[in-house]
């Protein structure tokens, strides 16, 4: 068989975040609003909304659908990315796959598909995540290798996220319960203010919720927030992970149900199809830390991502950091010398207030950063970062297209 005279040369392409949506987040458990709603259906609502909001995108142009879930069985199983694509009515020619990196599942779905776009394998991808922690409680079906204990590979507390947060308080005695509670109160207040301004609602896709006893309902707002929470309210809460500990339900994210999805594209493809650019990818990195203090993961991940981009923390004008636990956010801020209440950090509140359905949260950080970029055109770069179970962190650095110096022909040489 005669070969082609010359193969196409590879070209590195810029990747843009076109749009992102999420379901309202619910409280996990039998009384939560999604108790009788399927996890895969939550993802489907997001994918359909993305397609509806971006009518200039021909659905058959989607090159892949990457959906993350931590527990990949039942309504989160069956290669959920592929199944969700079919259930969403995307053409059967559109493939899909499932991803797991625990809390950073959706973030990894974004980086994996973005990387594929970057090397020219894809032009358009849908990335997202779902976790129905009511249907799939943390640790469902796990079978840790006995070597972990026998060889003391990992401290046994590493498998219980709340205990890793307590370990972090031990490591950094300056991060007190009082500071953690204060941070949590700020998160609640900022979210309430963002809701009041209608900022949060724009990213939400309403979900019809099934209940055999009560009939159909419609989820249009997050269920977990407790607006008006005060430091005094939090002071007396139990510390379930340790007697006289510091980690409470008030200064950590709850157990939640929810899904997210976003649309990524090669920049030139987005322009050709008339798709908007909400953010441009600059760099990303993942890093490992000791599993028993997984909460410090964002620190090395961010250092790595900044180094790759040739940027430093002083270049970063907005930070969306996942609030699995207040102490883990404080550890990050302390490392970079940022104040606990710095307005650049989680300006619309975070997971402590609105919830953290594990594998879905990465894209939620991105949609909020995109919103903040639009409101703050003077900010050029922002990051989304999160800690990850078994001792990891992940960080993605994004550029604001609303910034005066943003240009489509941008190359990273300029910023060096």
Partner 1 sequence: MSQVDFAAIFPDEVLTRAHVRAVDVPVGAQSVRMALITLDNGADHTRPNTFGPAGLAELDQALDEAFAIDGVAAVALTGKPFGFAAGADLSGIGSITSREVAAQVGRAGHRVFSRLHRAAVPTFCFYNGLALGGGVEIGLHCDYRTVLTQIPAFGLPECYLGLVPGWGGCWLLPNLVGPERAVRVIIDNALNNNRMLGAAEVLALGIADAGFAAADFLEQSLRWAAEVVLGQRKVTRDPVDRDEATWEAALARATSIANTRTAKAAPAPYRAVELIRAARTVDRAVGFAAEDEALADLIMGEELRAGLYAFDLVQHRAKRPAGAPPRALARPVTSVGVVGAGLMASQLALLLLRRLEVPVVMTDLDQARVESGLGHVHGEIDKLVSAKRLSPDRANRLRGLLSGSTDRSVFAGADLVIEAVFEEMAVKKEVFAELEAVIAPECVLATNTSSLSVTEMAADLTHPERVVGMHFFNPVAVMPLLEVVAAERTDESSLATAFAVAATLKKTAVVVRDSPAFIVNRLLGRWMSETARIVDAGTPIPVADSASAGLAPMTPFVLLGLVGLPVALHTSQTLHEAFPDRFAVSANLRRLVAAGRSAVYTWVDGAPRLDPEVLSLFEQPADPVVLDRARVREQILDALAEEVGLMLAEGVVGAPEDIDLAMITGAGFPLYNGGLTPLLDRTGASERATGSRFLPRGRASLPPE
> Among residues 225, 262, 251, which one has the least CA distance to residue 355?
225
Question: Please, what is the minimum distance in Å from the beta carbon of residue 7 to partner 1?
Answer: 35
Active site residue 262: no
Instruction: Give me the sign of the Cα torsion angle 109, 88, 96, 35.
Output: positive
Give every CB contact of residue 267 below 8 A, 6+ residues apart in sequence: 13, 14, 15, 16, 277, 280, 408
Q: Which of 132, 135, 136, 356 is catalytic?
A: 356
Active site residue 356: yes
| Residue number with CB closer to partner 1 (201 or 276) | 201
| Residue number with CB closer to partner 1 (86 or 138) | 86
Helix, coil or strand: residue 132: strand
Hey, which bits of 234-373 come out as E strands? 256-266, 279-288, 316-321
Residues numbered 380 to 409 that lie near partner 1 (CB under 8 A) are none
- Give the whole-angstrom CA distance, residue 212 versus residue 261: 28
Q: Which of 244, 335, 387, 403 is catalytic?
A: 387
Question: Please, what is the minimum distance in Å from the beta carbon of residue 215 to partner 1?
Answer: 3
Contacts of 151-155 with C-beta under 8 Å, sequence gap 24+, read: 154/291, 154/292, 154/390, 155/290, 155/291, 155/292
Active site residue 46: no
Residues numbered 39 to 68 that lie near partner 1 (CB under 8 A) are 44-45, 48
Residues numbered 86 to 115 that lie near partner 1 (CB under 8 A) are 87-89
Question: Please, what is the minimum distance in Å from the beta carbon of residue 116 to partner 1?
Answer: 26
28, 132 Cβ separation under 8 angstroms: yes
The answer to whether 23 contacts partner 1 (rule: CB under 8 A) is no
Question: Please, what is the minimum distance in Å from the beta carbon of residue 367 to partner 1?
Answer: 16
**From residue 203 to residue 242, what is the string marking binding to partner 1 with x (rule CB under 8 A)?**
-xxxxx-xxxxxxxxx-x----------------------
- Give the whole-angstrom CA distance, residue 391 versus residue 415: 32
Helix, coil or strand: residue 406: coil
Question: Please, what is the minimum distance in Å from the beta carbon of residue 122 to partner 1?
Answer: 24
| Residue number with CB closer to partner 1 (9 or 216) | 216
Question: Please, what is the minimum distance in Å from the beta carbon of residue 208 to partner 1?
Answer: 4
- Give the whole-angstrom CA distance, residue 323 versus residue 349: 9
Please give the backbone phi and psi of residue 249, each rounded to the nearest 5 degrees, phi first: -60, -20
Token pair, residue 161, equals 């996220």
β-strand partners of 263: 19, 126
β-strand partners of 264: 17, 125
Q: Which of 103, 132, 169, 262 is catalytic?
A: 103
Piece in contact with partner 1 (CB under 8 A), picked from 114-122, 198-206, 258-266, 379-387: 198-206
Token pair, residue 30, equals 């039998």
| Residue number with CB closer to partner 1 (18 or 44) | 44
49, 23 Cβ separation under 8 angstroms: no
Token pair, residue 106, equals 């959706």
Question: Please, what is the minimum distance in Å from the beta carbon of residue 90 to partner 1?
Answer: 10
- Give the whole-angstrom CA distance, residue 112 versus residue 118: 10
Question: Please, what is the minimum distance in Å from the beta carbon of residue 114 to partner 1?
Answer: 26
| Residue number with CB closer to partner 1 (36 or 315) | 36
Q: 391 to each of 104, 159, 160, 164, 172, how far by Cα in Å?
A: 12, 10, 11, 9, 17
Piece in contact with partner 1 (CB under 8 A), picked from 26-34, 183-191, 196-204, 329-337: 196-204
Token pair, residue 113, equals 């598909």
| Residue number with CB closer to partner 1 (87 or 189) | 87
| Residue number with CB closer to partner 1 (147 or 196) | 196
Active-site residue set: 103, 356, 387
Contact set with partner 1 (CB under 8 A): 44-45, 48, 87-89, 198, 201, 204-208, 210-218, 220
């Amino acid at each position: 068989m005669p070969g082609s005279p010359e193969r196409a040369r590879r070209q590195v392409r810029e990747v843009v975040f076109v749009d992102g949506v999420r379901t309202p987040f619910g409280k996990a458990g039998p009384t939560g609003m999604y108790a009788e709603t399927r996890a895969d259906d939550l993802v489907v609502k997001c994918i359909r909304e993305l397609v509806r909001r971006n009518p200039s995108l021909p659905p058959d142009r989607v090159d892949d659908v990457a959906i993350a879930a931590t527990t990949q069985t039942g309504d989160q199983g069956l290669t959920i990315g592929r199944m969700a694509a079919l259930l969403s009515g995307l053409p059967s020619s559109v493939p899909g796959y499932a991803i797991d990196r625990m809390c950073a599942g959706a973030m990894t779905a974004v980086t994996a598909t973005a990387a594929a776009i970057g090397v020219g394998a894809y032009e358009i991808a849908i990335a997202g995540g779902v976790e129905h922690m009511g249907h799939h409680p943390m640790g469902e079906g796990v079978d840790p290798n006995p070597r972990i204990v026998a060889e003391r590979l990992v401290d046994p507390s590493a498998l219980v996220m709340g205990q890793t947060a307590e370990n972090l308080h031990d490591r950094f005695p300056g991060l007190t319960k009082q500071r953690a509670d204060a941070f949590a109160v700020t998160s609640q207040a900022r979210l309430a203010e963002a809701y009041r301004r209608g900022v949060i609602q724009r990213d939400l896709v309403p979900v019809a919720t099934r209940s055999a006893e009560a009939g159909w309902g419609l989820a249009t707002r997050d269920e977990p927030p407790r607006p008006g929470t005060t430091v005094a309210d939090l002071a007396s809460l139990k510390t379930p992970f340790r007697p006289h500990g510091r980690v409470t339900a008030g200064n950590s994210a709850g157990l939640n149900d929810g899904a997210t999805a976003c649309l990524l594209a090669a920049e030139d493809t987005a322009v050709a199809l008339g798709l908007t650019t909400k953010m441009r990818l600059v760099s990303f990195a993942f890093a490992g830390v000791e599993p028993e203090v997984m909460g410090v993961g964002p620190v090395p991940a961010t250092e790595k991502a900044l180094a790759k981009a040739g940027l430093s923390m002083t270049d970063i004008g907005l930070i969306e950091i996942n609030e699995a636990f207040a102490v883990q956010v404080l550890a990050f801020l302390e490392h970079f010398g940022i104040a606990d209440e710095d307005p650049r950090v989680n300006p619309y509140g975070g997971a402590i207030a609105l919830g953290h359905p594990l594998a879905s949260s990465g894209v939620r950080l991105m949609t909020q950063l995109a919103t903040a970029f639009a409101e703050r055109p003077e900010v050029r770069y922002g990051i989304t970062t999160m800690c990850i179970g078994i001792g990891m962190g992940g960080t993605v650095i994004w550029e604001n297209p609303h910034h005066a110096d943003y240009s489509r022909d941008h190359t990273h040489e300029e910023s060096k």
